[in-house]
Each structure stands twice: as C-alpha cells, then as structure tokens.
Amino acid sequence: MNDLTPKARSGGRAARRAARAAPLADHLRPIRAGMEGGTYNPLTTIQVEQIHTAALDALENIGLADAPQSGIDYLVNVGAILGDDGRIRFPRALVEDTIARANRSIVLHGRDPAHDLELSGSRVHYGTAGAAVHLVEPDGRNYRESTVQDLHDAARIADQLNNIHFLQRPMICRDIPDTIEMEYNSVFACVSGTTKHVGTSYSEPNCVGPAIEMLHMIAGGEDKWRERPFVSNSNCFVVPPMKFATESCEVMELCIKAGMPVLLLSAGMAGATAPSTIAGAIVQATAECLAGLVYVNAVKPGAPAIFGTWPFGLDLRTGAMSIGSGEQALLTAGCGQMHRFYDLPGGAAGGASDSKLPDMQAGWEQMCSNLTAGLSGVNMVYEAAGMHASLLGFCLESLIMGDDIIGQAMRCVRGIEVSDETMALDQIADVCMNGPGHYLGTDQTLSRMQSDYVYPVLGSRTSPKEWVELGKPDLLAQATARKDEILAGKPQAALDPALDAAIRAQFAIHLPAWNS
C-alpha cells in the first residue's frame, strides 16, 4: 500500500513525475512503429472480391499503354500480351501467379538499424511524402519556394519525432535548377538529416546512377548497400488512367537492378484521371498496381515492392483536389483493405490537408485520414504530417504538431486489450468494498499510466485557470519553438566529417556543411 501521509505522498508524486519524464524503453511504449491495424473494413468481403475481379478484368481486357521497349520485353517474356493497339494486356493467370509469388514481407532499412521497418500483414507505419514546391511559413502566413535547406531541416525534425517512422522526401529543391544535381542533393539532404528510412524520386533515368554512387559511399560500399538499402524509390510508374509512365518505368528498372526497394505509386484523381466513384477509383488503382507488380517481378522475381495505391479525391464542384475529405479517408482505407486481401506490403496517402495553414481545418483533415488509414492496416501511411494546400505546401511546424496527431491515431490503432487483468473485476471489487471508492493512486492505475496512455507533447490539457497562469501558451508558437530548438544544434544524423568531405569532393552538394 502507498503511504498516504502528506510528506510521503509529496515525495512519491515527485518520484513518479521524474519517472514519467524519463524516456520509456521501446518495448514499454504504449505506441510504436509496426503496430497491427486492420480492424476497420469499409468494404465487405464480397465487395473486396468484386473489386479484385474488376481489376483483373481491366488488366485482361483494357491493359496499359506506353510501356518503354524494355518494359514490353520484360512483360511479354513472362506472358503479357502486346496488342496491335500498343496496349499490354495481362492474362488473369499471369496476375494471379505473380500475386502468389510476390514478396509477402519486406524490411525498409534505416541507416540506423533501430529504425528498420517490417512491412507485412497489417503493421502500420506513418511518415512524410510528397513533392511540395512551397514551404509554408505560418509566421506571416507566407508561401515561398522550397529549398534544399528546407528539405534537410524537415529531415532533421522528422529524425527527432517518435511517431514519424520514415521520411519520404516531402519537398522539391526549387533552388537547384539542374535535374541530376537536384535529385542527388535531395538524397544527401535527407540521408544526412535522419537515420530513418528515406524515400526519394528520380525524374529521369540518368538521375539514378549518381544517386546510387553516392549511396554506395554512404553505406560503405556496394555490398553494404545491397545488404541494407536504406533509401527506396517512390516511383509514379503509371500516368492514370491505365498508361505506363515511360521514363519512370526506366527509372524503376534501374532501381530494381541496383537493389533499391520500389514504391509502385498509382495516383489517379477521382473524377479526372480515375472514376469519380470511390469503388471505381480503387479498382483502377488496384489494376495499375497489379500491373506494376507483374512488371517488378518480371525484372527481378521477389524484388521488394510496395503496393502503392494512392487514389486522390476531387471536389467535383471546382475540380480542386480534396485530399482532406471524408472521401479521401475512405479511398485510403479501402485501398488498405485491398492490400490485406492480397497479403502484400502496401502504402497509401493519409494525413494531408487542403488547408493552407496549420489551423483547425488542417487538424480535422489530418486526423480523419490518418486514423482510417491506420485502422485499416495500411503498412506505409504517406503524407501523414506536414502537408498542406493539397500537396503544394509543406510546413515544418505542422510536421511537429502532426507527431501528436499521429500519436493519438496510433493509440486507436492499438485498440482495446480485453483480458481478466484489463477487465479489472478484482480492482472494482477491492476499490468498492475495501478501498477509498476511487482508483486514483492504486498500483494498477499507476502501472498503466505510461504503458496504456498516450500523452500529447504539445497539446494542452490544462484548465483555463492553469492556461492563464502559464501565460496562455499557443500551440503554433510552441511548435515553432520546438522547431528552432531542433535546428539550433548539430544534426544528430550528420555524416562522418571525412565521408561528408569525400562526397562534397565528388558531387556538387548545395547544402552548406555544418558550421561552414
């Protein structure tokens, strides 16, 4: 029993506060990367089968156009059919055999093994993504073109946030006009900012070689890179509806051969480049990604690939993107259900906002699709924090506040544990018949404070009186202060100085060296 004398109670409270302030061991944290989702199923079993059948019909009868010659050769070699109209069609048996043989589980490595992500089943991970061309500056409510420094800053901040599990490049380096330099500088800015897994894109096939050469240097050699590839390729291999993106396919082939995991990204716009119905958009995205899966396995059987169904919503009144809508949340959750149906590592977009600033609209939009994505068991939830203006703007403060949003979403993903211990009948009996009539301070309550409950880092739960006494703290101002704190110090993920110098001697690195 606890000693309830005032002195002992005060000392115990201080000790408990100190214990709560100490970081929890990973295995004791109430939420962590890779928790199992899959409890939310917006589609019935029959509807899932209907979408699967429709996707197979689309591949067999409609097919995809515009494959590069190399892709045609790979696909025809495994049984796809090149029609007189130039479209490649996929016999049902070919698709089903590919699904059966495809990689069921892949690991996306971090530069630090502590950040490795296992993609299988309904394990859920949240991170950034996108190709925003602006940085959102809440102070002054400005949008300006994003730079390589902004991208590096985003990587450094993501590196310090517990609920951001990976960093896919969220911004374009608009200050680097040369495409090849921009692409390998993006890799450098991300990898030197975080030891978590990084995802990047390559605009053209000739961008791949220099980036891979740099990654070999960072890994310590090609063999070390192939053992633990810590960067993946986000690849828009299709131009919806149902056309291959020729240059992106050539990029994909090079990345596969270089041992780089590939995100097969199909991003149709419902009502524009995909059917306006939620079911139709999911059918098309599923068909396109199944075609991509056949393509990847034709290049290299079993190559690590993420089934990236990313259909986006459209406001049919204006033609504007509606990525923060309830329809978007359903699109993402439905796609997550299809990933589980195929038992394939999958990714989809969640957590982005149409709002221009980190305001109340952004909060409800970010939580809506982040929550449904996690509950549906999406392995990789992309765009989960920081993204505004329908993917045109990225905000560092919003990235920090998004960490709290994701934390609450992840607690919902964890769900409710029901056992003799958690139903607590013995506690109820003891408290009601022998105890003080409440559960405050009981051993069971104290033991669950950290293991079962998720507490916001920035979000306030104070009373109005306490809020006033604290100087009426503002959430956005707190996020800005946290951003400044992180960026003021030396990057924790900085490369070894000798390696950094060697890379700068070989490549035109635009990011200033630390302390230069």
The count of C-alpha atoms lying within 13 angstroms of the C-alpha of 336, restricted to the half-sphere facing its C-beta, is 36
Question: Is residue 272 domain-resident?
Answer: yes
The set of long-range contacts for 245-248, using a CB threshold of 8 Å and a minimum separation of 24, is 245/66, 246/66, 246/67, 246/68, 247/68, 247/203, 247/204, 247/205
pLDDT tens digits along 72-125 = 999 999 999 999 999 999 999 999 999 999 999 999 999 999 999 999 999 999
Share of the chain above pLDDT 90, in %: 89
Q: Specify the pLDDT at position 446.
A: 86
Based on the number of CB atoms within 10 Å of its own CB, is 463 exposed (0-12), middle (13-18) or buried (19 or more)? exposed
Question: Is residue 129 domain-resident?
Answer: yes
End-to-end CA distance of the chain: 59
What is the total count of domains within the chain?
Answer: 1
Average pLDDT, rounded, for the chain? 94
Question: Is residue 196 domain-resident?
Answer: yes
User: Minimal CA–CA distance to 369: which of 379, 358, 359, 384?
Assistant: 384
Q: Specify the pLDDT at position 5.
A: 35
Torsion angles phi and psi, residue 312, rounded to 5: -115, 155
CATH number at residue 404: 3.20.20.480
Model confidence at 8: pLDDT above 50: no
**Is residue 348 within a helix (H) or strand (E), and if so which, with residue range?**
strand 346-349
> Can you read off the two tokens belonging to residue 409?
């979403």
List residues bridging with 137 in a β-sheet.
142
Question: Is residue 510 domain-resident?
Answer: no
- The span from the CA of 401 to the CA of 406, in Å, is 9
Model confidence at 63: pLDDT above 90: yes
pLDDT confidence band for 514 (50 / 70 / 90): confident
Phi-psi region of 453 (alpha: psi -120 to 50; beta: other; left: phi over 0): beta
pLDDT confidence band for 4 (50 / 70 / 90): very low
pLDDT tens digits along 245-264 = 999 999 999 999 999 999 99
Q: What residue numbers bound the domain in which 153 lies? A: 99-414
DSSP annotation of 187 reads: H
Q: Where are the beta strands (DSSP E) in 10-61?
A: 35-36
DSSP annotation of 430 reads: H
Q: Specify the pLDDT at position 449.
A: 87
135: Cβ–Cβ under 8 A, 6 or more apart, which residues? 143, 144, 145, 146, 147, 150, 171, 393, 394, 395, 396
Model confidence at 516: pLDDT above 80: no
pLDDT confidence band for 3 (50 / 70 / 90): very low
Model confidence at 365: pLDDT above 80: yes
**One-character DSSP codes across 436-466:** -SS-TT-HHHHHHTTTT----SS-----HHH
> Can you read off the two tokens belonging to residue 337?
């259900």
Q: Specify the pLDDT at position 12.
A: 59
Question: Is residue 225 domain-resident?
Answer: yes
Strand, helix or coil at 173?
A: coil
Question: Is residue 185 domain-resident?
Answer: yes
User: Minimal CA–CA distance to 412: which of 40, 26, 11?
Assistant: 40
Q: Specify the pLDDT at position 14.
A: 59
**Is residue 135 within a helix (H) or strand (E), and if so which, with residue range?**
strand 134-137
Q: Specify the pLDDT at position 18.
A: 57
User: Minimal CA–CA distance to 447: which of 155, 9, 30?
Assistant: 30
> Can you read off the two tokens belonging to residue 141?
């409510």
Question: Is residue 137 domain-resident?
Answer: yes
List residues bridging with 363 in a β-sheet.
none
Torsion angles phi and psi, residue 35, rounded to 5: -65, 150
Model confidence at 139: pLDDT above 60: yes
112: Cβ–Cβ under 8 A, 6 or more apart, which residues? 195, 196
Average pLDDT score over residue span 331-343: 98
- The span from the CA of 48 to the CA of 42, in Å, is 10
Model confidence at 11: pLDDT above 90: no
pLDDT confidence band for 441 (50 / 70 / 90): confident
CA distances from 396 to 168, 387, 399, 484 (A): 14, 9, 5, 10
- The span from the CA of 402 to the CA of 350, in Å, is 12
Q: Specify the pLDDT at position 179.
A: 97
Model confidence at 509: pLDDT above 50: yes
Model confidence at 356: pLDDT above 80: yes
Judge contact between 216 and 222, C-beta under 8 A: yes
| pTM (two decimals) | 0.94
Question: Is residue 476 domain-resident?
Answer: no
